A and B are shown apart, each in its own frame.
Chain A
Amino acid sequence: MAAFILRRLGGLVFVLVGVSLLTFFLAQMVPADPAGAALGSNAREEQIAAYRQQLGLDEPVVVQYGIYMSRLLQGDLGNSIRTRRAVAADLRDFLPATVELTLAAMLVTIVLGIPLGIIAALNRNTWIDAGARILALIGGAMPIFYVGLVLLGVFYRQLQWLPGPGRLDSTLQPPTQITGLYTIDALLTGNWPVFTNAVAHLILPSITLGLFSTAVLLRMTRSSMLEMLGQDYVRTARAKGLGQRLVIGRHVFKNALPPILTIVGILFGSLLSGAVLTETIFNWPGIGRYATTSVTTLDYPAVMGVALVAAIIYPVANTLVDIGYSIIDPRVRAD
């Protein structure tokens, strides 16, 4: 197990260096002056020159990258050109919002995707199965930005059943920061009104974000279950007269689980991608929106920061899934 994790870590370091190089290369391709962009249309030439110098933009590219990497090794992600503070500080402020949204969407995915997939498989070729497959088809093909706009329009603007964009009603103060996840912090501090409000604010964006992955997981669960249901030993178990629930629980689902789990890990990546669009629509102060604004303003130190963090989260999530996988199925470790 230790060797397995070590190998993963080694790969991660390589990936991070690659990611930083790639983003740095991208920043060099930009046809505009980031300092000028940050200072706006009225800025005078001297101001821009001074800011360029302050940012070290006049150094040769290699030197800039060297400075960046040496700082990075000390845990310094550099300074944002637009917000003019440490990228690490920005990420600290915005990452928890994305993590909370992504986890909520993952929850939606698992809570909807797996049971619906199982039910569909158990009722193969009935209208229930057809309904689930149509749902999966639509969920997998619908542009999520349209879904978000419609959900907001209907449930917030028209019906007013659910709160609007943002993480909390603006009249509520965020809970004392412990994890940065409003729901968890509110629970830990026993702040019930904030907890319920934060949960209510999560409903629409997490459904929007989770729709696509729900569709994928539903399909995966259904097919994985069907495969297992077709296996001889299941038929045998059924023939032996074991109860349906026992067969499903003990044999089928257990064996259908590993591929499902793999998909869950992979879906993290698509959720982080989807967060970019979801956060824009739902005014969600996460790193997706931060990345969007940063790209717009050519704030590549910030983009690099987001990329590095995303590049860490994704493999780590996958590694965790792999570890979980290897607990369930020890054969994987042999690889």
Chain B
Amino acid sequence: MLLQRFLKERTAVFGLAVIVVFTLIAVFAPLLAPYDPLQQDIPNGLAAPSPEHWMGTDKLGRDVFSRMLYGARISLGAGLGVVLMSAVIGTLIGIVAGYVGGWTDEGIMRVTDIFFAFPSLILAMAIAGALGPSLQNALIAVAVVTWPVYARLIRGQVLILRNREFVQAARAVGAGHGLILRRHLFPNTLSPLLVQASFDMGVTILAVAGLSFIGFGAQPPTPEWGVMISEGRNYITTHWWLTFFPAMAMLLAVAGFNLVGDGLRDVLDPRLRR
């Protein structure tokens, strides 16, 4: 039923289609890519898009199309990794805060305040810098700045639910904390979690690319979209294809997740329906 409602949202379905296409690209990149994304062909560098190289080549003669396909792997993987990490950690902490309440709750919320006080990219940069610049550390950094979002979200949900009748009733009949959490609280937090996760996929893809762009994320020669734009920044007016295609890929992927997020929210949370 929810699925039917979702499928009625035309833009959301479009977004979903985009995500499915990118997921397929990510999974089957080795089959789809006409070239090895790292294979250099220096004499044939900076070639314009042509039948051999659909999106041209970069300064080392690497095929931009192949690099873009592999980039989907990295960006989607990064988004998924960060969202999973931060959602799991944030949810656990949020449930504890909301359910236990009192000083525990107060303490946890103040800790999230500290994380919210930083502009996220500055904190992520500081973490990535301290750990040493690499894609993996960039993911850890972004996850560290993202989990408090989930902690707060879930805590808010739990606070609302905790006093709802069905939870009170369960408690009255002597249900244990674990059971209440598992059966009543957690399932009811799933909808907002899913909406948030969908939006965060987009945010994370942009954040990881941003970190890579300034040198704190994936390192060259990794075919990551942010790295590709960074490597092509000197050619923006002369060899537009170096930056245009990875930027468009990023735009499409992020827009796809945002559209799906919108659609999910409209379907799952009718109160916020616009």
Q: Do chains A and B touch in the complex (CB under 8 A)?
A: yes
A residues whose Cβ falls under 8 Å from a Cβ of B: 11, 14-16, 18-19, 22-23, 26-27, 29-31, 137-138, 140-146, 149-150, 152-154, 157-158, 222-223, 226-227, 269-270, 272-277, 280, 288, 291-292, 295-296, 298, 300, 303, 306-307, 310-311, 314-315
In the bound assembly, the distance between CA atoms of A251 and B253 in angstroms comes to 39
In the bound assembly, the distance between CA atoms of A233 and B224 in angstroms comes to 52
Are A141 and B251 touching (Cβ within 8 A)? yes
The answer to whether B117 has its CB under 8 Å from any CB of chain A is yes
Are A274 and B121 touching (Cβ within 8 A)? yes
Question: Which of A14, A223, A311 has the most chain B CB atoms inside 10 A of its CB?
Answer: A311
Min C-beta distance of B195 to chain A, whole Å: 14
In the bound assembly, the distance between CA atoms of A280 and B114 in angstroms comes to 26
Question: What chain B residues lie within 8 Å of A223 (beta carbons)?
Answer: 274
Are B114 and A18 touching (Cβ within 8 A)? yes
Dominant secondary structure at the A interface: helix
In the bound assembly, the distance between CA atoms of A26 and B123 in angstroms comes to 10
Dominant secondary structure at the B interface: helix
In the bound assembly, the distance between CA atoms of A272 and B274 in angstroms comes to 29
Question: What chain A residues lie within 8 Å of B129 (beta carbons)?
Answer: 30, 295-296, 298, 303
In the bound assembly, the distance between CA atoms of A4 and B123 in angstroms comes to 28
The answer to whether B187 has its CB under 8 Å from any CB of chain A is no
CB-CB nearest in chain B for A291: B122
Take A18-B110, A146-B247 as given contacts and tell me if A307 and B122 are in contact as well, using a CB distance cutoff of 8 Å: yes
Question: What chain A residues lie within 8 Å of B119 (beta carbons)?
Answer: 269-270, 272-273, 275-276, 310, 314
Are B274 and A226 touching (Cβ within 8 A)? yes
The stretch of B36-44, B150-158, B206-214 in contact with A is B206-214
Question: What chain B residues lie within 8 Å of A142 (beta carbons)?
Answer: 247, 250-251, 254
For B, the interface residue count at a CB cutoff of 8 angstroms equals: 46
CB-CB nearest in chain B for A312: B117
Take A29-B131, A137-B259 as given contacts and tell me if A277 and B214 are in contact as well, using a CB distance cutoff of 8 Å: yes
B127 interface neighbour in A26, A146, A288, A296, Cβ under 8 Å: A26
Question: What chain B residues lie within 8 Å of A29 (beta carbons)?
Answer: 130-131
Interface membership of chain B positions 90-130, coded 1 if the CB is closer than 8 angstroms to chain A and 0 otherwise: 00000000000000000000110110111111110111111
The answer to whether B263 has its CB under 8 Å from any CB of chain A is no
6 A-B contact pairs sorted by A residue (CB < 8 Å)? A11-B110, A18-B114, A19-B117, A138-B251, A144-B210, A307-B123
Interface membership of chain B positions 50-61, coded 1 if the CB is closer than 8 angstroms to chain A and 0 otherwise: 000000000000
